Chain A
């Protein structure tokens, strides 16, 4: 049963914090824009300082929206994975989904040498990156799910995920060996993760796919809750296991795959955010977890991005480094404090 009164408080606090983080994120950066002008720019007013207006509207706002999509999308895909694999350590990274996406992207960026130059020009566009990355994560997920239906041991599934990561890394290093310096650099920069390279039209594409993945996740809420009992119980409750599993996998690979394509492989968000949500709301009910992860994931990503920008300096740290520095200790803390990770 959803106890509304019990959960309203935390939800309101989280929503307020999210708005606060969003405004702070827009205001902070190499150039600090006063809050007054941030608001004015957001609500369509004109600012005397044109460069501020440009920074807010064409750089920081799309970046902030990307951060919200990335944080909430990866968090939700992590939640779906943890429930589907009945494993608290599951996440886009651990299961090799990000590796699949990386391999897809590596093939597109660096495989050009193998495909020939004319074809290469066609290949390296944002769209081909998105398709390759989503396809890569989808294929890896399909393989993992096939193997996991044969191997009942959830530990084995995680190890298989790690093996996929190794295979991918090996293939990528082979590709790197033959790649030109320019291609290599392009791939390495993609691997750092980045939220700020997206134009408005690209943000729109990301947003549309994200909304579709989100829609599939919401449709799956009942199935996900049933799966908390285990697959056999879920089946005995009338759940169409094959169909639900497929929808959940598609939702995950759309969310994780597209986000990885646009923003690079971003570690730990998918794994850590669902656990934070479970701690705060003390529940495994997906009706509560889904909106909670949306708020927390978006917020954490905005904070990580603000840190990565290093306010008042011209440096920008790789976002992937920040999320790992933030996420890994949280996972360790959860293990030490709770002794057992629950899902």
Chain B
């Protein structure tokens, strides 16, 4: 799907994130200005504890922002009611699902909950969306298996299929590649890229796989203490942003190979 002028799916203006507790405000990040377009795959990278999860939690309305604006599909995030937000934004979380006794199909079907009636009955459109999600993620082979029978990689694909079935313009994944081996990490991220191109959905994921993200993402957010920068991977390399990610005593970014190497 090629469009001359792609739509902005998510926009943040001067966003300030952090926590508010009794002793005051803990600021995690500020001056976060992001703009995601239709069909983009965006990787969020940053050191451990820098606030990637806080940013994702704020964008998905799990925790309140401190200041600034978050706009999804031209509507302010705080103006969404729960169900409307569930139709605009789907998530894949780091936590595993509560009941592994569900079959892969049942998990994916639950992605249709925002659209079903009070009893949760699936109509023909729901079934269509579920089948589409299954074929796009290529998980036909184990669709009737219970989740406790699936490998981590298979389970992650099921969770992505579930988010697809939810049929939202924006999908946000929190570290979808943890616990996976190198091959399956590449497989999941490649799948995300294919999905964003084929469906026109905007996909944002956080990850520690910087090498893979540079190769696959349209844009990347580099999160450091001072700022969160959004640019294409090439743009980031040209401006030397990657070398700001970590202290330079151990690893350095090599613009030639587009990867980090150990400082020997």
A22 smallest CB distance to B (angstroms): 29
Residue contact B102 to A235, C-beta cutoff 8 Å: no
Cα(A343)–Cα(B102), bound, Å = 9
A123 nearest CB across to chain B (Å) = 41
A238-B102 CB under 8 A given contacts A222-B116, A226-B113, A229-B107: no
B114: interface (CB < 8 Å) = yes
Interface of chain A residues 196 through 233 with chain B (CB within 8 A): 219, 221-222, 225-233
Per the CB 8 Å criterion, the residue count for chain B at the interface is 35
Provide the residues of chain B in CB contact with A252, threshold 8 Å.
Answer: none
- Tell me, in angstroms, the Cα distance from A228 to B119 when the chains sit together: 15
Verify if A86 is at the interface (C-beta below 8 Å from B).
yes
Contact pattern, B 34-77, Cβ under 8 Å of A = 1, otherwise 0: 00000000000000000000000000101000000000000000
Q: Is B221 an interface residue (CB 8 A)?
A: no
- Distance (Å) between the CB of B166 and the closest chain A CB? 7
- How far, in Å, is B112 (CB) from chain A's closest CB? 9
Q: At the interface, yes or no: A51 with Cβ under 8 Å from chain B? A: no
B111 at the binding interface (Cβ < 8 Å): yes
Structural contact, B118 and A284, CB atoms closer than 8 A: no
| B106→A86 contact, CB < 8 A | no
Which residue of A is nearest B120, CB measured? Answer: A222
Q: Is the CB of B110 within 8 A of A229?
A: yes
**Mask of B187-231 contacts with A, CB within 8 angstroms, 1/0:** 000000000000000000000000000000000000000000000
Cα distance A319–B82 in the bound complex, in angstroms: 46
Chain A residues lying within 8 Å of B95, measured Cβ to Cβ, are 230, 232
CB distance from B79 to the nearest CB of A (A): 15
A238 touches B86 (CB 8 A): yes
With a cutoff of 8 Å between Cβ atoms, the chain A residues found around residue B97 in the complex are 228-230, 233
Chain B 84-117 interface mask (CB, 8 Å, partner A; 1/0): 1111011101011111111001110111011010
**Min distance, Cβ B177 to any Cβ of chain A, angstroms:** 19
Known: A229-B98, A285-B106, A342-B99. A237 touches B116 (CB 8 A): no
Check: B83 CB closer than 8 A to any chain A CB. yes
Assess the B101–A278 pair: CB atoms within 8 A. yes
B122 located at the interface, meaning its Cβ lies under 8 Å from any Cβ of chain A in the complex: yes
Return chain B residues, CB-CB under 8 Å to A125: none
The answer to whether A238 and B83 have CB atoms under 8 Å apart is: yes
A122 on the B face (CB < 8 A):
no
Q: Quick check: is A32 within 8 A (CB to CB) of the other chain?
A: no
Whole-angstrom distance between the alpha carbons of A237 and B114 in the complex? 6
A residues near B119, Cβ cutoff 8 Å: 221-222, 287
Q: Which of B83, B84, B105 has the most CB of A within 10 A?
A: B83
- For the complex, what is the distance from the CA of A263 to the CA of B98, rounded to whole Å? 33
Q: Which of B84, B90, B91, B101 contacts A284 (CB 8 A)?
A: B101
A284 and B110 in contact, given A221-B120, A222-B116, A222-B118 (Cβ under 8 angstroms):
no
User: For the complex, is A117 an interface residue (Cβ under 8 Å from B)?
Assistant: no
Partner pick for A228 among B62, B98, B105, B111, CB 8 A cutoff: B98
Residues of B within 8 A of A86 (CB): 98-99
Kindly name the residue among A230, A231, A232, A285 whose own CB sees the greatest number of chain B CB atoms within 10 A. A232
Q: Kindly state whether residue B148 has any CB partner on chain A within 8 Å.
A: yes
Q: Is the beta-carbon distance between A239 and B101 smaller than 8 angstroms?
A: no
Of all chain B residues, the one with the shortest Cβ separation from A82 is: B99
Tell me which of B60, B62, B98, B109 contacts A1 (CB under 8 A).
B109
Known: A237-B166, A238-B113. A228 touches B99 (CB 8 A): yes
Contact of B101 with A236 in the complex, beta carbons under 8 Å: no
State the CA gap A255–B221 with chains docked (Å): 52
A46 at the interface (CB under 8 A from B): no
With both chains docked as a complex, state the minimum distance between the C-beta of A6 and any C-beta of chain B, in angstroms. 11
Q: Ordered nearest first, which 10 A-B pairs have the shortest CB separation?
A: A238-B86, A238-B83, A222-B120, A230-B98, A228-B99, A342-B101, A284-B101, A238-B114, A237-B113, A86-B98
Residues of chain A at the chain B interface (Cβ within 8 Å): 1, 83, 86, 219, 221-222, 225-233, 235-240, 278, 283-285, 287, 342-343
Q: Can you spell out 16 A-B residue pairs with CB atoms less than 8 angstroms apart?
A: A1-B106, A221-B120, A227-B98, A228-B99, A230-B96, A233-B91, A233-B93, A235-B82, A236-B60, A236-B93, A237-B110, A238-B84, A238-B85, A285-B106, A287-B119, A343-B99
